[in-house]
Amino acid sequence: MFNVHQFRQQFPYFNQPDAVIYLDNAATALKPQALIDATVEFYQSAGSVHRSQYDEKNTALYEQARVQVKKLINAESEQAVIWTSGTTQAINTVANGLIPYLQPDDEIIISEADHHANFVTWHAIAKKCGAKLHILPILDNFLIDEQVLVSALNARTKLVALNFVSNVTGTQQPVQQLIEKIRQFSTALILVDAAQAISHLKIDVQKLDADFIAFSAHKIYGPNGLGVLSGKLSALEKLQPLQYGGKMVAFASKQDIRYAELPYRLEAGTPNIAAVIGFNAVLEWLEKWDFEQAEQYALHLAKQTEVRLNNYQNCHLFSAPQPSTVISFVFENIACSDLATLLAEQNIALRTGAHCAMPYLARLGVPSTLRLSFAPYNTEQDVQAFFTALDKALSLLD
């Protein structure tokens, strides 16, 4: 059985006397000791990676991280694991890398459920290339309408970008089912934004059949400033590099430049070595825990909280159609920022605002929401502390 107390002990954050009740895990997860130890050990070493014989140990750890990511998502090979600074850069690497293949009047499909990392990027690329941008509406249950998606597909559709799990409502799109439909009616490339999915779902990239998938390490207990772009080698090979410089060159002369093979062709410059080595330690550490039991525990806390919030007369929840660790809600006639401020003063950390998803919030008909998001290190005491603080805040705002 999953033991929350043993899991919680892995995170030094909770040993701090000023630690708050942390309920903003959809934004970023807390860091385990395994990450901290590996990061410190790297910074106490000398050198870089892939530069000389003396840095072989760090180079081995760096490349071992690709093996761990390959295992995590069942990637096609280590070559299909590209390091980026995060989901945003991963999506931008795909978007800018496909510019040579996009012509005026080509079509790109996204949805109003997308995070700005997806929504804004493809909006800008469509404008730059003269392509047509289709923005799919979502149904009242926050799912993409499959029939509308199919009707939008045609011979000019070059890319479809899908959000796997929403950071606003926690809604999980039936991505595999949607990809199967896209494959039936189009030859378009498919990108999946898995930033929120990576810490909650077992992802099999090859089974999913997406051409590209992107996620950030910090969503799954890893370091900030590190992300992964993966997918099919045949699709990754199509990408023009987003950046040029060191390490991504196989040969350079005054007359000719030849780029290295994947993954290095898309990884110009000195990488974020400490983050990659730290992420390797995190993924090794995660293998010691039962992923599904941990997720079920976090879902149980979220469900408890949702049931209790439903008992507040003026509270409106934007509930996902399936169990989720994310809860977005508003109170009628109370500004989200006012309530968040009073909760923060009582050491409750949650998120308020548009969550980098303004088109989604417009669809919901609100300018902002409050958002709670749970992780397996949260406890029932955290839930009770939130409601105690909420009741006090509401009494002050009444």
Domains of the chain, CATH where assigned:
4-23+290-397 (3.90.1150.10), 35-286 (3.40.640.10)
Backbone angles phi, psi at 145, to 5 degrees: -75, 110
Provide the token pair at 339.
């309530």
User: Distances from the Cα of 313 to the Cαs of 67, 69, 316, 329, 390, in angstroms?
Assistant: 51, 45, 8, 12, 14
Average per-residue pLDDT for the chain: 96
Report the interhelical angle of 56-73 vs 33-43 (nearest 10°): 150
169 pLDDT above the threshold of 60: yes
The residues annotated with a catalytic role in the active site are 356
CA distance 181 to 150: 7
CA distance 86 to 107: 26
332 pLDDT above the threshold of 80: yes
In tens, the pLDDT along 202-216 reads 999 999 999 999 999
Q: Mean per-residue pLDDT for 298-317?
A: 97
Confidence of residue 47 (pLDDT cuts 50, 70, 90): confident
CB atoms within 10 A of CB 68: 18
CA angle 59, 64, 65 (to 5 degrees): 105
In tens, the pLDDT along 222-231 reads 999 999 999 9
Confidence of residue 46 (pLDDT cuts 50, 70, 90): confident
Could you write out the three-class secondary structure of the chain? CCCHHHHHCCCHHHHCCCCCEECECCCCCCCCHHHHHHHHHHHCCCCCCCCCHHHHHHHHHHHHHHHHHHHHHCCCCHHHCEEECCHHHHHHHHHHHCHHHCCCCCEEEEECCCCHHHHHHHHHHHHHHCCEEEEECECCCCCECHHHHHHHCCCCEEEEEEECECCCCCCECCHHHHHHHHHHHCCCEEEEECCCCCCCCCCCHHHHCCCEEEEEHHHHCCCCCCEEEEECHHHHCCCCCCCCCCCCEEEECCCCEEECCCCHHHCCCCCCHHHHHHHHHHHHHHCCCCHHHHHHHHHHHHHHHHHHHCCCCCEEEECCCCCCCEEEEEECCCCHHHHHHHHHCCCEECEEECCCCHHHHHHHCCCCEEEEECCCCCCHHHHHHHHHHHHHHHHHHC
- Structure confidence at residue 64 (pLDDT): 96
CA distance 164 to 174: 8
Confidence of residue 55 (pLDDT cuts 50, 70, 90): low
Q: Do residues 305 and 319 touch, judged by C-beta distance below 8 A?
A: no
Q: Mean per-residue pLDDT for 286-302?
A: 97
- Structure confidence at residue 51 (pLDDT): 65
- Structure confidence at residue 248 (pLDDT): 87
